[in-house]
Amino acid sequence: MDAPIKRLIAAIDTPDAARARELIGAVGPHCGLIKLGLEIFSALGPAAFEAPLPCPVFLDVKLHDIPNTVAGAVRALLPLRPAMLTIHAAGGGAMIEAARKAAGSADHRPLILAVTVLTSIDARDLAATGIADDPCAQVLRLAHLALASGADGLVCSADEIAVLRDEFGPAPILVVPGIRPAGSDVGDQARIATPQDAIARGASYIVVGRPITAAADPAAAAAAIAGSIT
Ligand SMILES: O=C(O)c1cc(=O)[nH]c(=O)n1[C@@H]1O[C@H](COP(=O)(O)O)[C@@H](O)[C@H]1O
C-alpha cells in the first residue's frame, strides 16, 4: 500500500545555517517537504541546499519580474532540483508562462506555484493597493490567470480553498500558509486557519513556520501537527 501523502510543509525561516540544519533534522521526518524561503536563501544562496535534506525542498523565492528575467532565474535554480518553486501570480500571464516554460519537462522539474494574495493581507490592505475586491475575489481572478498560463498550483489562504475547489476541481495543487494551531500566536498573518480546517477544506499541503520553529520542541510540534491531519 502507498504511504499516505505527507501534507505538512515546514517553513525553515532563519538566516542561520546551523539553526536551519538543526531544524531540518528535527522536523524533516514529519514533513512531506521542507520550505527554504527568502530568509535562508538570501543569507546562504544555493549553499542552503548543502544541509542533509531528508525530504524534497520547496524553494520559496516568490519570483516577480519581467518574463525574461524570471525565466532566467528559474533556469538558474534548476540545478538545485527544488520540487516546488514560487512565483507571484500578479506578475502576469506572460511571466507565468515564461516561468513554466523555463521549468522544462524533465520528470524532476519543479512544480510552479503561483502566489495569489499573501496570507498577511486583509481586505483593507488590498484596498490600499488599489484593489477594491475582497481577497477571495482577487485570489479567484489571479488563480484563473495563473492556471490558464500553465502554473501547476496556487498558494492561497484557507479562506479561498472552497471557492477554488468549486471553480477548478481537485486537480490544482493548493498550498496553504497562514496556518495556526488553536491558541498559537497569529503574528503578522491575517487570513488564518487551523491545520485540520485547512486540510478539511481541501488544501493539498499546509505550510507551517513559527508554530513549529518557535516551539520549545520543534520536532514534537511538527509531529503533533502532522498527526492531526492524517
Ligand atoms: O509562499 C509562501 O509560502 C507564503 C505565501 C503566503 O501568502 N503567506 C505565507 O506566509 N507564505 C510563507 O509561509 C510561511 C508562513 O510562516 P508562519 O507564519 O511562520 O507559519 C512563511 O515562510 C511565508 O513566507
In ligand 1, which atom is closest to the CA atom of 116?
A: 7
Q: In which band, very low, low, confident or very high, does the pLDDT at 169 lie, cut at 50, 70 and 90?
A: very high
Superfamily of domain covering 8-228: Aldolase class I (3.20.20.70)
The grid coordinates listed for 54 are 531528508
Tens of pLDDT, residue by residue over 83-137, are 999 999 999 999 999 999 999 999 999 999 999 999 999 999 999 999 999 999 9
Give the distance (Å) from ligand 1 centre to CA of residue 1: 33
ipTM above 0.90, yes or no: yes
Mean pLDDT, rounded, for 10-23: 97
In ligand 1, which atom is closest to the CA atom of 119?
A: 7
The answer to whether residue 1 scores a pLDDT higher than 60 is: no
- How confident is the model at residue 5, as a pLDDT? 76
Cut 0.95: pTM above it: yes
Helices 161-168, 135-148: crossing angle, 10 deg rounding: 40
Centre a 10 Å sphere on the Cβ of residue 127 and count the other Cβ atoms it contains. Answer: 12
**Residue keyed to cell 538566516:** 15
- The reply to whether 180 sits in an annotated binding site is yes
Q: What does the alpha-carbon distance between residue 190 and residue 122 come to, in Å, rounded to a whole number?
A: 6
Mean pLDDT, rounded, for 169-174: 97
Mean pLDDT, rounded, for 128-148: 98
DSSP H or E stretch at residue 99: helix 93-103
Give the distance (Å) from ligand 1 centre to CA of residue 207: 7
- How confident is the model at residue 51, as a pLDDT? 83
What are the residues whose beta carbons fall under 8 Å from the beta carbon of 69, sequence distance 6 or more?
Answer: none
- How confident is the model at residue 182, as a pLDDT? 95
The answer to whether residue 53 scores a pLDDT higher than 70 is: yes
> Please, what is the average pLDDT of the chain?
96
For residue 16, indicate whether it is catalytic: no
DSSP summary character for residue 109 = P
